[in-house]
Amino acid sequence: MNFLRNTLGVLLGLAVSALIIGLAIRINPEWVTYDKFLPFQHWAKFLESVSQEKGFFWFLIPTIGVASILGGVATALVVKYAKVAYAMLTGLLLLSLAVLDILIFPYHPWFYKIAVIFIYFPCAWLGGKIVEYILDRAEKRRLSRKLNL
């Protein structure tokens, strides 16, 4: 049962991250060069169309950081044990997908290729630590209330 729960947590974290990145791209109507809700089905055509706009990749860097943090939070909320480890697994999978994206499609600028390494994994770790901190704090409050009564 824990295996299914953990797998679901990691998949949910990946889905949350993909959804946030896809929705953030839609903020600027000039970047929307696709018919579907999310751009991932026509990613090559999409990257080619925005490759000349330097502002797009500068916007994408903090977006992937936020998406990775929230993906790590979603993963950590679902799994029962080792919340930070599974959030880091989500970040590692996101980083792997980003590296594949960089290797397959030649449209990424140099600064994006470097920034991806320092964003996905640490931000997912941060998301897991946020959930761990909040849950530990809630547990300490619950115990202190129980002891005070």
Predicted confidence (pLDDT) per residue in 57-103, tens digit? 899 999 999 999 999 999 999 999 999 999 999 999 999 999 999 99
Q: How many domains are there within the chain?
A: 1
pTM of the entire structure? 0.88
Query: Of 22 and 8, which is predicted with more confidence?
Result: 8
For residue 1, the model assigns a pLDDT of 77
At CB < 8 A and 24+ separation, what contacts does 137-142 make?
A: none
- The C-alpha atoms of residue 48 and residue 29 are separated, in whole angstroms, by 16
Place of tokens 């970047």: 31
Select from 84, 82, 91, 85 the least CA-distant residue to 116.
91
pLDDT digits 0-9 by tens, 96-126: 999 999 999 888 888 988 999 899 889 999 9
Cβ-in-10-Å burial (0-12, 13-18, 19+) of 24 comes to middle
Domain that holds residue 81: 2-148
Sort residue 36 into left (φ over 0), alpha (ψ -120 to 50) or beta: beta
For residue 41, the model assigns a pLDDT of 73
